[in-house]
Amino acid sequence: MHNQDESPRATTAPAEPPPPGLLVEIGQFGRAFKQLFGAQLQLLAAELGLARSAVSWMLLAALAATMVGVGLTLSVLAFAGLLLATWFGSWLWALLVLCLLQLALLTAALVLFRRCMHWISLPVTRGEWGAMMHASVRRGDDRVDTGQAEQQEPSAP
């Protein structure tokens, strides 16, 4: 019949729980992982805020540099006009020479601009420019595709 010394518990082998050290280590790993990536996200947010601020300050500095450059140019031209007026003994001749000087500088800038446009229009440069534009468009399309895929994935069960 049935042996009374044997209980039903004795016939089944008890499942051993994982050692408590393993659970503690897994918990510590999870907390460290969360802390690490939380710190990385905080750092990224701080860097993005700094970059936004830097762009604003750069635009302000560029505006200030442009204004100071224009003021300096006007001062140098006034000083050159005064020197030319004392040299020629006539303000009319001094202003005429200044106008010719500015016309020569403007012509040189336009010639340089046209030369640069010619360099861009050379066949090798056109090919490189086209390849660069196609690569940029492909990267943009890939980003849009992955962004749409990422948006669609969480909604799928």
Asked if 87 contacts 96 with a C-beta cutoff of 8 angstroms, the reply is no
Q: Domain check: are 78 and 133 in the same one? A: no
pLDDT of 154 > 50? The answer is yes
What's the average model confidence in pLDDT over 20-49?
A: 80
Q: Domain check: are 82 and 110 in the same one? A: no
pLDDT of 157 > 50? The answer is no
Q: Within 13 Å of residue 93, how many CA atoms lie on the same side as its CB?
A: 8
Please name the residues in contact with 97: beta carbons below 8 A apart, sequence gap of 6 or more: 84, 88
DSSP H helical ranges for the chain: 8-11, 20-88, 91-120, 123-155
How many domains does the chain contain in total? 2
Report pLDDT for 92: 95
Between CA 82 and CA 103 the distance in angstroms is 19
Q: Domain check: are 85 and 32 in the same one? A: yes
pLDDT digits 0-9 by tens, 40-52: 888 888 888 888 8
Q: Domain check: are 25 and 81 in the same one? A: yes
**CB neighbourhood size of 97 (10 A):** 16
Report pLDDT for 4: 56
Tell me the pLDDT of the chain averaged across its residues. 81
pLDDT of 87 > 50? The answer is yes
Percent of the chain with pLDDT over 70: 80
**What confidence tier does 141 reach under pLDDT thresholds 50, 70, 90?**
confident
Between CA 86 and CA 79 the distance in angstroms is 11
Domain termination residue (choose one: 45, 73, 89)? 89
Domain termination residue (choose one: 89, 104, 130)? 89
